[in-house]
Amino acid sequence: MTTGSVPLKVTIVEDDASFRSSFVAAVDAAEDMVLHAVAENVAQAMALLAGAPADILVVDLGLPDGSGIEVIRAAHGAWPECGIMVSTTFADDRHVIPSIEAGAAGYLLKDSSASRMADDIRTLHSGGSPISPRIARKILLRFRPVEAPAQPLLSPREKQALELITKGFSYDEIAELMGVTRNTVMTFVRRIYQKLEVSSKAEAIFEARSHGLL
């Protein structure tokens, strides 16, 4: 039982009759919980929010008359002390992040057993954030810093040759300025093309500037 033997009041917003029945059964089987209310769509849920608050609100996202995110956002304002948890089949960024931003503190996929459902409710009420492993990974990946693409590494001599090419010098002129043979300049050019993955002078100059090499 919860502190003072007062059971947790749990409300569910769910249109799938089978899952709704399983969830209600899980709550009924838990001695420290009581079913507060049930809604099957957004309209019914909004009407419930005008009444006495629940301790825990479990919301499906794919409702017949709208998105459960609307309910989460409204509940976050109407029942500020209520813990809100998503239970859904949606695992994509279009649903996960907006749900959390709207006020959900837990996000579970509909693959939990009845005992797990009850444990997740307890975790949420005690200040935790029950989240399915797949969802946790998705959230972590979203906030991982994007690695900058590696810059193609040109040797000092290759970079010098490229700078002279950019200025319009011919291969013979570049060879003289660098104090090497024309064949050596051609070798530099071939390596530059390979590293920048290009096939012409214009492309080489464009890519070099894009990578900050010029």
Is the per-residue pLDDT at 1 higher than 50?
A: no
What are the distances in angstroms from CA 34 to CA 31, 44, 87, 124, 132? Answer: 8, 19, 18, 15, 24
End-to-end Cα spacing for the chain? 69
CA angle 97, 77, 84 (to 5 degrees): 50
CB atoms within 10 A of CB 96: 23
Asked whether the predicted pLDDT for residue 210 surpasses 80, the reply is: no
Note the pLDDT tens digit of each residue in 133-148: 888 887 777 776 666 5
Q: Is the pLDDT of residue 3 over 60?
A: no
DSSP string, 65-90: TEEHHHHHHHHHHH-TTSEEEEEES-
The mean of the pLDDT values for the chain is: 88
Helices (H), the chain: 17-29, 42-48, 68-78, 93-102, 114-125, 133-143, 156-166, 171-178, 182-196, 201-210
Note whether 71 and 42 are within 8 A (CB): yes
pLDDT for 94-111, tens place per residue? 888 899 999 999 998 887
CA distances in angstroms from 173 to 167, 170, 178, 204, listed in the order given? 11, 5, 9, 19
Nearest to 83 by CA among 55, 113, 61: 55
pLDDT score, position 146: 60
Highest mean pLDDT among 29-33, 54-58, 108-112: 54-58
Q: Measured between alpha carbons, how far is 201 from 191 in angstroms, rounded to an integer? A: 12
3-state secondary structure of 58: strand
Number of Cβ within 10 Å of residue 19's Cβ equals 18
More confident call, 112 vs 17: 17
Pairing of strands 62-63, 33-39: unpaired
Strand 56-59's sheet: what is its strand order?
A: 33-39, 8-13, 56-59, 83-88, 106-109
d(CA 83, CA 124): 6
pLDDT digit string, tens, across residues 172-197: 999 999 999 999 999 999 999 998 88
